[in-house]
Amino acid sequence: DQQVKQNSPSLSVQEGRISILNCDYTNSMFDYFLWYKKYPAEGPTFLISISSIKDKNEDGRFTVFLNKSAKHLSLHIVPSQPGDSAVYFCAATGRSSNTGKLIFGQGTTLQVKP
């Protein structure tokens, strides 16, 4: 049972345009969500997070939106740059459970074309 799903395996956008990566979850106990970026041959690196008490968190070109009623979150990258080309994973956890467990989606490969 995939509790965190990224239904788009890949996304291609033009440099300067907006990239929107989507993520859906099923477990209503999740209350903290994260996005990780991964370049080839490297480990995932933390990008941005959001708590369930918020519906938006912004950090520079990156904004994460959370829609709790739809159990959906999205990552917006504006403007997209070629260096943003990577695999993006969303992850979720229930902080109240006091566990170190993150549940990851399958990842979306973003290609930003110059």
Partner 1 sequence: GAGVSQSPRYKVTKRGQDVALRCDPISGHVSLYWYRQALGQGPEFLTYFNYEAQQDKSGLPNDRFSAERPEGSISTLTIQRTEQRDSAMYRCASSLFGGFSSGNTIYFGEGSWLTVV
Residues that bind partner 1 (CB under 8 A): 4, 6, 9, 32, 34, 36, 41-46, 49, 51, 89, 91, 93, 95, 98-107
- φ/ψ (deg, to 5) at 14: -85, 145
User: Length of the chain in residues, anyone?
Assistant: 114
- φ/ψ (deg, to 5) at 60: 65, -125
The amino acid at 63 = T
**Least CB distance from residue 43 to partner 1, whole Å?**
3
**Least CB distance from residue 62 to partner 1, whole Å?**
13
**Least CB distance from residue 100 to partner 1, whole Å?**
3
Contact 73, 50 (CB under 8 A): yes
Residue 6 or 85 having the CB closest to partner 1: 6
